[in-house]
Amino acid sequence: MRNKLLTTLVTVFVIVGAIVLVNTLTHGVIQDSLYRLAEKPSSMFQDALMRSKKYLYALFNRSQIIADRDALALENRTLRSQIADIDQLKRDNEGLSRQLGVDQSHAKQLLKAHFFDVERSAIVSTIMINKGRLDGVQRAFAVIDAGNILIGTVSEVFDHTSRVVLIDDPRAVVSVRVLDSSLIAQSHGILDNRARINLVSKEEAVKENDTLVTSGIDRLPEGLIVGTVDHVSDSGTGLFKEVSARTMFDPGLGSSVFVIVQQ
């Protein structure tokens, strides 16, 4: 037993001595190799740790980017809404400013309204406004746009809303006068922002771009702008000229209108 232990110790001593001798002769190559073998697992662990750190950072950073994007989208929608509100206020202010040019006889009789439900088809041309019987609106009241432009007349009245027949509707017949003249005629709607101007004799002077206003001989106030003449022809064999006009109501300019509640 003792001899076996002694043999084992001698063997270990010889191996260790051989290793030390070889390491010395090779200038520490074995030692360096052992160091590198021990260092490699540590380096791999550090690399894995750094990759995990980068992944976690990217993950949390992505969540922050998504949150920032959603916040910017919400802010953008809010700004667009505010811009739309500002634009509406600007339109309203411009309309009110232009409306200061309305004849003073009507200035204190205007009820501001907003139109909706525009119906302009092959047979009718109407709008709905958000004022009705409880606001003092009655049938046949004139509805005008900024600048004394006649839009149409009230045809149906409900408690809080009213229907307005526009002047290019085939049911709309308005007595008109050529501005700065005594020529009286009749405007009859033919849709598509146009009206046929009847009862203009061949002897009467009318030309393209003449302005037509309400004559005041029917229930409508005098001097409201109806439109401008866009066609004149006297080539027919009848007693009257063929005259048409373009009306001036443009829904794209804003939803504000005015009802003349007393006439």
Cα torsion 81, 94, 168, 260: sign: positive
* pLDDT tens-digit readout, 150-160: 999 999 999 99
Least confident of 38-42, 181-185, 240-244: 38-42
- Which H helix or E strand runs over 181? none
Report the alpha-carbon distance of residue 61 to residue 54 in Å, rounded.
10
Report the alpha-carbon distance of residue 178 to residue 197 in Å, rounded.
11
Residue corresponding to tokens 């709607």:
189
Give residue 79's pLDDT. 60
Longest CA span, the chain: 151
Residue corresponding to tokens 């866009």:
230
The whole model's pTM is what? 0.61
Give residue 188's pLDDT. 98
Buried b (16+ CB within 10 A) or exposed e, 44-81: eeeeeeeeeeeeeeeeeeeeeeeeeeeeeeeeeeeeee
* pLDDT tens-digit readout, 28-49: 555 555 555 455 555 555 666 5
Report in angstroms the alpha-carbon separations of 99 from 138, 160, 193: 22, 24, 22
Instruction: Determine the 3-state secondary structure of 163 from DSSP.
Output: strand
> Which of the listed ranges 76-90, 95-109, 196-210 does the model predict with the highest average pLDDT?
196-210
Report the alpha-carbon distance of residue 140 to residue 156 in Å, rounded.
9
* End-to-end Cα spacing for the chain: 136
